[in-house]
Amino acid sequence: MGESGVTVDSSKVILSIKNLVKTYPNGVQALKGVSFDVREGEFLVIIGLSGSGKSTLLRCLNRLHDPTSGSILFDHGKEDIAQVKGAGVRRIRQQIGMIFQHFNLVPRFSVLKNVLLGRLAYTPIWKSLLGWFSEADRKKAIEHLSLVGIAEKAHLRADNLSGGQQQRVAIARVLSQNPKIILADEPVASLDPATCHTVMEYLKKVNEELKITIVCNLHFLSLVRQYATRVIALKEGEIIYEGSPQDIDEQWFARIYGEGAKEVHVN
């Protein structure tokens, strides 16, 4: 199985997930004991059908969902994300940012204000409620907007932007959190193919230039081959593949997506 034989330098492991189980109150078992490591600086892509547990897995990693059992060791095992509570959860979310399929911006706010939301965890509550973000935060926010190429839209309302632009704002927001890891849940699934690559290129840039680890759920295998440094495939809540994107041949493809599935390319 892929690289399973290769020993990994444990100091390079940023997240270590062990036996993660998530059962929803309605009895659906979305994750059935998932274990894997996320290594510092990698672009890890998780693939699988809808309903395979990808989204649940990502949401457990920053505790938007609470895992049922198992552990998620972070920061060289100093902290178990699965166990933290209250303020601890918020500290974890601050360090593990997220971008979403539907961008999840606040539609009525300006682009700049949306990016500043990334600073909420760093700003005292009373200051943030009054909208007093520091001058340094504002400057940094503009820088991050420049990085994703939409600084000139800073004062437009977020819902006036196209889907691709909104996702770039979401990237700028997550960057202003100064995260160690970015989780990306189907970041291009609601974008057209052309925009899709723009957004993926920015994620790649963030990964390579800012050295931020990325864990990303993706649908299209062609994108996976192009951007992933490593791949995990989920099927019915279990890991069935772990390895290099280039090693996913037709047989693996059929196992992951089911017989009769056909690969679609995004150009």
Partner 1 sequence: MVIDQYRFRRLLFDSLNFAFVVMVALILFQAPEEEQILRDMKFYALLWGGLMVIGALISELFLKFRIVTLGELTFSPPSRKHLRSQHNLFYTFWGWQFIISLILTLWIGCLITKADLWELLDERGIRGAIHLFYALFDPNWQILPQAIVNVIVTIFMAFIATAFAIPVAFILSFFCAKNIMKHPVAFVIYLTLRTLFNFIRSIEALIWAIIFSVWVGIGPFAGMMALMIHSIASLAKQYSEMVESVGEGPIEGVQSTGASFLQTIWFAIVPQVILPYISFTVYRWDTNVRMATIIGFVGGGGIGTMLIKYQGQAMWNEVGTIVIVIAVVVWAMDQASALIRDALK
Dihedral (C-alpha) 150, 183, 235, 85: value to the nearest 10 degrees?
Answer: -150
Give the nearest distance from C-beta 221 to partner 1 in angstroms: 27
Pick the closer one to partner 1 by CB: 46 or 105: 105
132 vs 247 by CB, closer to partner 1: 132
Q: How far is the CA of 67 from the CAs of 33, 88, 103, 232, in angstroms?
A: 11, 15, 24, 19
Range 81-89 contact pairs with CB under 8 angstroms and sequence separation of 24 or more: 81/15, 82/20, 89/63
Q: Using the rule CB under 8 A, is 129 a contact of partner 1?
A: yes
For residue 90, state whether it binds partner 1 (rule: CB under 8 A).
yes
Taking the complex as a whole, the smallest distance from the CB of residue 251 to partner 1 amounts, in Å, to 37
Q: Does 227 help bind partner 1 (rule: CB under 8 A)?
A: no
- Helix, strand counts (H, E) of the chain: 9, 10
Nearest to 31 by CA among 4, 63, 70, 2: 70
What's the farthest any 2 CA atoms get from each other in the chain?
Answer: 57
CB atoms under 10 Å from CB of 67, counted, come to 25
Q: Count the alpha carbons within 13 Å of 150 in the hemisphere toward its beta carbon.
A: 28
127 near partner 1, rule: CB under 8 A = no
Is 72 an interacting residue with respect to partner 1 (CB under 8 A)? no
Of the ranges 111-119, 147-155, 192-200, 241-249, which one interacts with partner 1 (CB under 8 A)?
Answer: 111-119
Q: Does the footprint of partner 1 cover residue 93 (CB under 8 A)?
A: yes
Q: Quick one: which of 43, 100, 202, 227 contacts partner 1 (CB under 8 A)?
A: 100
Taking the complex as a whole, the smallest distance from the CB of residue 215 to partner 1 amounts, in Å, to 13
CB neighbour burial string for 77-100, b if at least 16 within 10 angstroms, e if fewer: eebbbbebeeeeeeebbbbbbbbb
When binding is defined by CB under 8 A, the residue of 19, 23, 110, 128 that contacts partner 1 is 128
Out of 48, 53, 70, 97, the only residue in the binding site for partner 1 (CB under 8 A) is: 97
Q: Work out whether 61 is an interface residue with partner 1 (CB under 8 A).
A: no
Torsion 204-208-210-215 (CA) sign: positive
Instruction: Decide: is 144 part of the binding site for partner 1 (CB under 8 A).
Output: no
Contacts with partner 1 by CB under 8 A lie at: 62, 64, 90-95, 97-98, 100, 102-109, 117-121, 125, 128-129, 170, 173-174, 177
